[in-house]
């Protein structure tokens, strides 16, 4: 691929390639702290400093800069094109009706995390949840009880950096299950490869499917569009309490205002995703042991309880899923692999477009990420002529509109 890789963490950030996962901040120790940049996402700052700790290991673990399937890490799973390594596909739901109701899909990510602890396999789960002191933002917590793990149920379509708190995993007694977006999980895998102390303490990784992280400003816009004052917000929920659930805002008076998931996601949230997500090939958590998404392969009835699609990617993931099923934490069954493609029908085209977008960035002299064993060119070749032209001409236009030739975030 044409184009140069960023050579330091500040360059990753300046080049609009940061996913906001926080892995560099964990690896670099005190040299970097994650901050929420309202209109962009969470970023490692100070970005102006360039020293050894911001290249080396911090750069090596960055999923924004590079994603690679290493054959030795595939655990026997065949690489299935745009779906990554897949051993099996299930459709499942939590057997706890409250978790299933509050979960984004079937509450499966939560049920897997809770089961890891209640079965004694792990002593905690590293999860993202709403910040109790700032309900429009998220925090990362290592939860250790059924009650605290299940309280973190639900997708937060807003910036989150779970990897910045990998110190909690490394320092804990026993193992920790990790839940995060595909980029977060790819970063964890990179860190575990160079930090044996972390690898020893890691239970399975669970990725939630992700089409991109919207900024905090996007949530603020949604809140205002519902007529609620930002200062008066007590809680924000993006989904749940039904499937796929509504975007809901509660104000100090207790009043709850809402809009449908489709209204929130298809409008403001989609438009305000960070740039790196638009050139991401991994929307289904290819580097996880298990990944969980919505089974959109069929129409969902109005009051239907939630279900989750579960992709088994490693033997450790399969063992964790089967144990949760046999212990009654989950219910569900094996389903045909075609259901994956039927659930995410536009994914092949999206990945094809990603190849054209990265090519355009390289031709414009911008820094680009490197993807290895993550096939995309043949998907670009399969796009209709219009799709090919859009992936290049459209990217050129958007890159200029977004100012990709200028640093994404200025130094504080």
Q: What is the 3-state secondary structure (H, E, C) of 162-231?
A: HHHHHHHHHHCCCCEEEEECHHHHHHHHHHHHHCHHHHHHEEEEEEECCCCCECHHHHHHHHHHCCCCHH
Cα separation, 297 vs 82, whole angstroms: 17
The sign of the dihedral angle between the CA atoms of 157, 159, 163, 166 is negative
Residue 292 makes contact with ligand FAD by CB under 6 A = yes
Q: How far is the CB of 186 from ligand FAD (least distance, A)?
A: 13
How far is residue 180's CA from residue 327's CA, in Å, rounded to a whole number? 24
Task: Select 62 or 359, whichever has its Cβ closest to ligand FAD.
Answer: 62
Encoded tokens for 201: 């303490």
Q: Which stretch binds ligand FAD (CB under 6 A): 10-18, 30-38, 48-56, 178-186?
A: 178-186
What angle is formed at CA 68 by the lines to CA 181 and CA 204, rounded to 5 degrees? Answer: 45
Contact with ligand FAD (CB under 6 A): which of 9, 28, 128, 311? 128
Residue 154 within binding range of ligand FAD, rule CB under 6 A: yes
Q: How far is the CB of 385 from ligand FAD (least distance, A)?
A: 26
272 scored as a contact of ligand FAD (CB under 6 A)? no
Question: For ligand FAD, how many residues bind (rule: CB under 6 A)?
Answer: 34
Q: Give the span between the Cα atoms of 232 and 227, in whole angstroms.
A: 11
How near is the Cβ of 247 to ligand FAD at its closest, in Å?
12
Contact with ligand FAD (CB under 6 A) among 108, 169, 183, 188 = 108
Rule CB under 6 A: say whether 105 interacts with ligand FAD.
yes
- Token pair listed for 244: 């796929």
Question: According to the binding rule CB under 6 A, does residue 219 interact with ligand FAD?
Answer: no
CB of 375 to ligand FAD, least distance (A): 20
Q: Does 182 bind ligand FAD (CB under 6 A)?
A: no
303: exposed, middle or buried (C-beta count within 10 Å: 0-12, 13-18, 19+)? Answer: exposed
> Which spans of this chain sit near ligand FAD (rule: CB under 6 A)?
103-110, 113, 127-129, 152-157, 160, 162, 179-181, 184, 208-211, 213, 283, 292-294, 308
């Amino acid at each position: 691929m044409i184009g140069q890789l960023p050579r330091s963490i500040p360059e990753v950030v300046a080049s609009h390639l940061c996913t906001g996962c926080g892995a560099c901040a964990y690896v670099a120790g005190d040299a970097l702290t994650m901050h929420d940049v309202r209109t962009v996402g969470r970023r490692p700052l100070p970005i102006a400093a360039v020293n050894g700790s911001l290249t080396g290991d911090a750069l090596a673990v960055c999923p924004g800069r590079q994603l690679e399937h290493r054959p030795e890490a595939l655990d026997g799973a065949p690489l299935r094109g745009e779906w990554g390594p897949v051993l099996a596909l299930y459709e499942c739901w939590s057997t706890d009706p409250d978790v299933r109701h509050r979960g984004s899909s079937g509450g499966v990510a939560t049920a897997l995390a809770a089961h890891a602890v209640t079965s004694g396999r792990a002593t905690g789960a590293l999860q993202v949840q709403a910040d109790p002191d700032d309900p429009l933002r998220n925090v990362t917590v290592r939860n250790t009880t059924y009650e605290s793990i299940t309280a973190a149920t639900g997708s937060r379509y807003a910036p989150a950096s779970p990897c910045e708190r990998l110190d909690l995993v490394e320092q804990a007694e026993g193992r920790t299950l990790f839940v995060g977006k595909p980029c977060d999980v790819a970063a964890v895998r990179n860190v575990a490869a160079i930090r044996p102390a972390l690898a020893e303490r890691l239970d399975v990784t669970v990725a939630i499917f992700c089409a991109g992280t919207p900024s905090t400003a996007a949530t603020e816009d949604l809140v205002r569009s519902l007529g609620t004052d930002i200062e008066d917000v007590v809680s924000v929920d993006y989904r749940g309490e039904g499937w796929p659930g509504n975007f809901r805002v509660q104000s100090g008076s207790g009043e709850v205002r809402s809009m449908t998931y489709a209204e929130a996601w298809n409008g403001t949230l989609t438009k305000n995703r960070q740039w790196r997500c638009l050139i991401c090939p991994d929307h289904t958590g290819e580097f996880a042991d298990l990944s969980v998404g919505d089974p959109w392969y069929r129409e969902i009835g109005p009051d239907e309880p939630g279900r989750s699609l579960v992709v088994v990617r490693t033997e450790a993931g399969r063992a964790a899923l089967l144990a949760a099923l046999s212990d009654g934490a989950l219910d569900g069954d094996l389903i045909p692999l075609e259901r994956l493609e039927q659930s995410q029908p536009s994914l092949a085209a999206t990945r094809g477009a990603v190849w054209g977008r990265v090519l355009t960035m390289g031709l414009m002299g911008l820094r680009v990420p490197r993807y290895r064993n993550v096939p995309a060119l043949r998907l670009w070749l399969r796009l209709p002529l219009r799709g090919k032209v859009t992936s290049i001409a459209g990217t050129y236009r958007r890159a200029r509109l977004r100012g990709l030739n200028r640093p994404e975030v200025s130094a504080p």
